[in-house]
Amino acid sequence: MRHCNSVFNAADIWFLLDTEKHFNRRLYLATCPVCNKKMALYSYCDKDKNNFEQMFYSGGADRIKEKVKKDKVSTLLGYRNKYKAPYGFKYGKNVEIKRNGKIIATEQYACDFFGNKVLVKRTDG
Ligand SMILES: [Zn+2]
């Protein structure tokens, strides 16, 4: 997440159910540490695996949270509380998010050998 010339991790990530046209949907939530503005980054893929992102601020962030909360299947905070990450994780995996052939972000996952995967860090750019 990026605001006020500073880059910071999302405070929480909501993992959302797929819709007919949107897959791998997530809502990244954060508060800018500089100006305290509430931020929500809505991210999803289309059927061709193109990644789309939409940023919402303040009241807009509250509205997108209201709108998608019924689709929430799990959250990063819930996962951390449940499993006390990184306990039990076996390896890390980096996934590059591309748009028009350009890398726009890198996502770092913690994986175990049971096929579980959780996003631990996202770096833009
Ligand atoms: Zn800010």
Cα(57) to centroid(ligand 1), Å: 10
For residues 64 and 68, what is the distance between their CA atoms, to the nearest angstrom?
Answer: 6
Q: Is residue 59 very low, low, confident or very high in pLDDT (cuts 50, 70, 90)? A: very high
Q: Would you say residue 51 has pLDDT above 80?
A: yes
**Structural domain containing residue 49:** 2-124
Domain count, the chain: 1
pLDDT (tens digit, 9 = 90+) per residue, 17-45?
999 999 999 999 999 999 999 999 999 99
Residue 113: the pLDDT is 63
Ligand 1 centroid – CA 101 distance (Å): 29
- Residue 122 half-sphere exposure toward CB, CA atoms < 13 A: 22
Task: Express each pLDDT in 72-87 by its tens digit.
Answer: 988 887 776 666 555 4
